[in-house]
Amino acid sequence: MTQSDIQTIVTQSGKELKVHTQLFINNEFVPGNGPLIEDINPSTEEVICKVHSATEEDVNTAVEAAHTAYKKVWSKVAPAERGVLLNKLADLMERDQEELAMLEAIDNGKAVSVARDEDIAGCIGCYRYFAGWADKIHGKVIDTAPEQHIYTRHEALGVVGAIIPWNYPLMMGAWKFAPALAAGNAVVMKTSELTPLSAYKFATLIKEAGFPPGVVNIITGYGHITGSALAAHPRVSKMAFTGSTGTGRKVMEASSTSNLKKLQLELGGKSAQLVFADADLKHAAQQAAAGIYNNHGQNCNAGSRIFVHESVAKEFIDLFTEQAKAVKVGCPFKEDTFQGPQVSKAQFDKIMEYIKIGQDEGATLHFGGKRVGDKGYFIQPTVFTNCNNNMRLMREEIFGPVVAIGTFSGGWEEAVELANDSDYGLAAGVYTSDHSTAIKASNALLAGSVWVNCYDLFNNSVPFGGYKQSGFGKELGKYALLEYLQVKSVITLIDW
């Protein structure tokens, strides 16, 4: 590690933080060969620092480090010891929880209270959960005939490549690192060029926890350079990607033209929330509002389409609007802030353009739709009503605090048909007091996760992943381990 890569930054709360700006390869911070990237504070629009970016040469160096570490060291580490290291990592994250949260706040713009109490806390739980799985990965003996001895082995893939988005820098990393490492793989992860700082702080904890050099490598760079090189690398056995559907297609193409590496893609969404006439409307409004406005609407599973039965539409919209008005937008370092800025000017401009599109299409701008303040990428929580499924507001992922509300007049079948009329299928919400309606609608929805009378409720033991163009493969739970393992059958003839 060289001192030249460490810079001091000051948060809006006046706290000084030391940040690394170089690539983390083989347990050391090293310069990248690509151009320096300006890291922008979305709350102030000012440059925080400049970080190094990885070229194809740097990607190859990181992958070779991971390959060597896997082959010579990590594959020989006992599963229980992998669990010990993951638990140690979780302990260190808990120790530095406040600093990690502040880095998320200044780099991503999310409220520091949310980052600390939800995101980082969730990461700590994720590492501890998969630490418990490390020594419980078992094959089976298959009894076929007296003269045969047949068994299966669940083996690591080797080198796993991971590309994570900017909306949950540490959490999306945890969802990939934790099962990949528990299963015995080495990892090369590319952070978003917009939000690299918390990942580099995390890298220091990897080293402190005692992970062997090369087992975890963290690099930053642009998708078309760094991401493309990682996705196409022939020594990478699997790519885990979270991001847009368009980029997911490019990752698939890179796999098909290189070594047909295993893929896990968690992509975009346009998730529907269905509010039935018999729902507890106040509770539904609270949950549905959190479902869209959590993380500033920058959620792949955001419940950005709401279909409410016409008989209760006015009452629900009034209750929902109260929730939108109550959202505290402002400096992420204030403890009562719920919604900070959007992550970048490009994202801000995209959202504002969609707000204009919605008005041009004939939807009613019921609330919000304006910038907050004159500095930073802050947008009011926004509510559109009188929306139909043909509008772009209803069909395209906005990735911001914008909800489109429409109505239905029939039963659960009509509501589900409206919800399923989408290219995406990541998540859905159902609000009803009728158990039968809840089960029928949930079973018929083409979505990887369905929340009933709640939304955005996660647990590390519960799998998460999409249908249709929202991708394939599962994060979290025992299902996630299978994404990072391959099964070998060993067939032995005893009497020969």
To which H or E segment does residue 159 belong?
Answer: strand 159-163
Entry field: residues in the chain: 496
Q: Parallel, antiparallel, or unpaired for β 186-191 and 159-163? A: parallel
Place of tokens 């290189």: 258
Instruction: Report helix, strand or coil for 402.
Output: strand
Residue 356 tokens, joined: 């204009």
Q: How far apart are CA 382 and CA 363, in angstroms?
A: 12
Query: Is residue 266 among the annotated active site residues?
Result: yes
Three-class SS state of 308? strand
Q: 64, 104, 118, 266: which is the annotated catalytic residue? A: 266
DSSP letters for 50-103: EE----HHHHHHHHHHHHHHHHHTGGGS-HHHHHHHHHHHHHHHHHTHHHHHHH
Q: How far apart are the first and last CA of the chain?
A: 58
Q: What is the DSSP letter of 184?
A: T
Would you state the structure tokens that stand for residue 311, as one six-digit string?
């008989």
Cα(75)–Cα(23) distance, integer angstroms: 24
Let me know the angle formed at the C-alpha of 27 by 23 and 31, rounded to the nearest 5 degrees. 25
DSSP letter at 212 equals P
Closest CA to 50 of 10, 12, 20, 13: 20
Q: Which two tokens stand for residue 328?
A: 């505290």
Calpha distance 414→427 (Å, rounded): 18
Buried b (16+ CB within 10 A) or exposed e, 280-293: ebeebbbbbbbbbb
Q: Which residues form the catalytic set? A: 266
